[in-house]
Structures are given as C-alpha cells and as structure tokens.
Amino acid sequence: MLTDADRKWLTEKVLGEGWIDQPEDHSDTCMCHDCVDYRQCNRTFTTWQDFGDLWSRMERKVCWDRFLMFAGFYPQATHEDSKWLVDAIHPIHFAELIVQFGKENPEEFE
C-alpha cells in the first residue's frame, strides 16, 4: 500500500514534479500558488493517467531494463514468469513496484 511518503517520492523523484504538503484542516485539498481556489493537487497514483505518466517516465530512464528484470520480466519469459504483467498493468501495483525498486536502487533516482 502506498503511503504519502511513497506518493511524494514518486511525484518528486520519478516524475520530477512538485509535491504540495496539505494542511491538516484540508485533508483532501490544498491551496496552490498559481490558483485562488482549493483543489486536489497531489497525485494519488490510482488513475490510468498516473500509470501512463509513470510508465512513460520510467521507460525513458537508463534503469528501465533493470526495473523490468526487478519486476520479473525477461524477453524469454514463460507464462509462469509473467505475474509481473498482472501487477504492471494495474496503476497502484505498478507504482508500488517502482517504489520497491527505488528503495533497493536509490542511486537510480538521484
């Protein structure tokens, strides 16, 4: 399960975007510097948009092949070895795989 710290890390380290800490009294909303109304600002990593953005960013990273191997993918993978695909095509599971990979390989995201 993704924590706020995981979502912040994915936002800042993987996507290169800013994370806005939300005040305690507005748990679902925050005030952006560029807008005048409250709205959700931070990514949840539960949507297909988040999945697509993470996939695109990870695919461009030098560590993409290492990440795929970490997730259990090999070009010659057999049907039994393809559990990674079930996880990889689910937005939340894909984000969790990236967090796990990042914790084991922090140098890839410096």
Per-residue pLDDT tens listing for the chain (110 residues): 899 999 999 999 999 998 877 666 555 555 555 544 334 578 889 999 999 999 999 988 878 888 888 877 655 545 455 555 655 677 888 899 899 999 999 999 98
Q: Which domain holds residue 24?
A: 4-109
The dihedral over CA atoms of 48, 51, 52, 58, expressed in degrees to the nearest 10, equals 180
Number of domains comprising the chain: 1
